[in-house]
Amino acid sequence: MAEAVQRASERVGRYRWVVVGLLFAATAINYVDRQMIGVLKPTLAAEMKWSETDYANVVFWFQAAYAIGYIGFGRIVDLIGARLGYTIAVAVWTVAHVAHGGVNSLMQFAAVRFGLGLGEAGNFPAGIKAVTEWFPQKERAFAIGLFNAGANVGAIITPLLVPWITVHYGWRMAFIITGIFGVLWLAAWLIVYRRPQDHKRVTPAEIAYIQQDPADPIVPIGWRKIITVRENWAYAIGKFCIDPIWWFFLFWLPGYLGTRYGLDLVSFGPPLVAIYILSDFGSIAGGWLSSRLMRAGMTVNAARKITMLICAFAVLPIFFAQSIDNLWVAVLIIGLATAAHQAFSANLYTLPSDLFPRAAVGSVVGIGGTAGAIGGMLMAKYAGYVLDSIGSYAPLFAVAASAYFVALLAIHLLSPRLERVNV
């Protein structure tokens, strides 16, 4: 059987990688839209007289909406599928993103960030659902790592493109111009995406390759069942621990570089680009490593957890970031941490499809994403309090250095073998 699958894999088409390309593009746009507030923080804070707590409150309301939207879209994509679910998500966040260009107060900014958070929350539940529909288990971590790398590409594009638009046309126009990307992606998605069995461009051999794993029943599975399963909470607690660290990097890193190294709207672009290029490498490498270990004969349990443990150790040096005086040494340390986060995250994102039937994947991803967003809300409040009260990033970097070990410990205690569950 294994030899037959291998021979089939050599003859199958590769249209599933076109789907990954679309997911990659959506994730890049998603991160351009969400990261713009971090890049524009000095400009907005100066014009609107924001304190660190004011800025933290704007981030908080984005996270609150993200928490609501994540669990909502997790259920929605299980019920209506990835194609329509993704369409709704991108439409909502694009409208909210463009609306940023017309706001004039802290309350209005919080309101449009709330709308952005609702829509953007659908990106990963829909994307992981699409990967579950289009890839066998052994390729999912790599596929998720590839499309998750779009987050870093978006984070690279933002500090290069947005300051240029802002300098020449103003920050309001920056939101309107970048909103065009979402409209173009929606058109491509509706033209290209179908389930494999409904797609004219997919060969029978590729469909057989995609569906090589044991079939599971495609029937609705309610939250009441899912929340009683320990493996659901293994994923959710993992997200609660690590997602706030990524949000911290995304929303506070430009401000940190400006404060610590005297950089401005234009000059912090190259350091941010370097950090997120390293992150991009980490996202792909993390998915590749666990997939490679599985092909070498390791179990899913060993491959995923060994990879995540390596990542947790790679984040540790960020504990010392605040004390580093050389900008580019700090960039290397922070870039290593963000790369390790993305590698850890690529493997964590595969757990719902590793452990649960397809009909439950979106809901499990949604519950985990909501847990991560709640962690992000707490991190936003904590960051605002720490920076306004003591003015040091050291406590925040200390939290970042330890979070991944806590996440992996929780995952291991709740799911020692990462075995598929019966719900």
420, part of any domain? no
422, part of any domain? no
275, part of any domain? yes
Q: Note the pLDDT of residue 220.
A: 63
Compute the average pLDDT of residues 103-121.
94
84, part of any domain? yes
For residue 84, pLDDT over 90 is answered with: yes
For residue 218, pLDDT over 80 is answered with: no
Q: Note the pLDDT of residue 304.
A: 95
Compute the average pLDDT of residues 219-234.
84
Q: Note the pLDDT of residue 219.
A: 65
What's the mean per-residue pLDDT of the chain? 89
232, part of any domain? yes
Compute the average pLDDT of residues 3-10.
47
Q: Which residues of 413-423 are buried (b: 16+ CB within 10 A; e: fewer)?
A: ebbeebeebeb
What are the tens digits of pLDDT across the range 11-50? 667 878 888 999 999 999 999 999 999 999 988 988 989 9
Compute the average pLDDT of residues 363-375.
88
For residue 377, pLDDT over 60 is answered with: yes
Q: Note the pLDDT of residue 188.
A: 94
| Residue 9 exposed, middle or buried by CB count within 10 Å (0-12, 13-18, 19+) | middle
For residue 294, pLDDT over 50 is answered with: yes
Compute the average pLDDT of residues 236-244.
96
Of 258 and 329, more confident: 329
Compute the average pLDDT of residues 183-197.
90
For residue 8, pLDDT over 70 is answered with: no
For residue 7, pLDDT over 60 is answered with: no
Read off the pLDDT band of 170 (50, 70, 90).
very high
217, part of any domain? yes
CATH code for the domain of 248: 1.20.1250.20
Lookup: tokens for 271: 């350091």
User: The domain containing residue 57 runs over which residues?
Assistant: 2-414
282, part of any domain? yes
Identify whether the C-beta of residue 175 lies closer than 8 Å to the C-beta of residue 98: yes
Model pTM?
A: 0.80
419, part of any domain? no
What are the tens digits of pLDDT across the range 301-337? 999 999 999 999 999 999 999 899 999 999 999 999 9
| Residue 270 exposed, middle or buried by CB count within 10 Å (0-12, 13-18, 19+) | middle
Compute the average pLDDT of residues 346-364.
85
Read off the pLDDT band of 268 (50, 70, 90).
confident
For residue 141, pLDDT over 80 is answered with: no
Q: Note the pLDDT of residue 23.
A: 94
Give how many domains the chain has, as a whole number: 1
Q: Note the pLDDT of residue 216.
A: 59
pLDDT-above-90 percentage for the chain: 58
